Amino acid sequence: MAIGRRRMLIGSAVTAGVVVGCSREDGTAAEEGPVELAKTADVPVGSALVVDDIVLTQQQPGRIQGFSAVCPHAGCAVSKVDGAKVVCPCHGSSFGLDGAVLTGPAREPLRPVAVTVRGDSVVTG
């Protein structure tokens, strides 16, 4: 039996609604809002910290920026910090603390991610 286009789209929309609607283990709705990534003291000045899928950098004291940890070359996760360089382990691309490509094969910079300093914490958004 062939599934019509309309039925497939409706099924996809229902599935997407279920996936998007998040809940906790106790069945209550998950709260949305800023999530703490790190304490500001954990992000070294002149270096970076990789937290899950976000790279936090601090080029100058108090100036923390966020970038996606996904390397734009082949989608691997950058995971190594070497001083003022963030390195992708898959093909050796390296990025500066501003997300710019220092060495390839990547040609595009790391994608910026919005982060905010709130008190002594770095949070999403």
pLDDT bucket at 51, cuts 50 / 70 / 90: very high
pLDDT bucket at 25, cuts 50 / 70 / 90: low
**Residue 1 located in a structural domain:** no
Range of the domain at 84: 36-124
In this predicted structure, what is the pLDDT of residue 23? 43
> Domain with 82 in it: what CATH number?
2.102.10.10
**Residue 8 located in a structural domain:** no
Taking a C-beta distance cutoff of 8 angstroms, is the pair 124, 37 a contact? yes
This prediction has a pTM of 0.72
**Residue 17 located in a structural domain:** no
Mean pLDDT of 52-60: 93
**Residue 29 located in a structural domain:** no
Please state the domain count of the chain: 1
Say yes or no to pLDDT of 37 above 90. no
Say yes or no to pLDDT of 69 above 60. yes
Cα-based torsion angle of the residue sequence 103, 108, 110, 116 in order, rounded to the nearest 10 degrees: 130
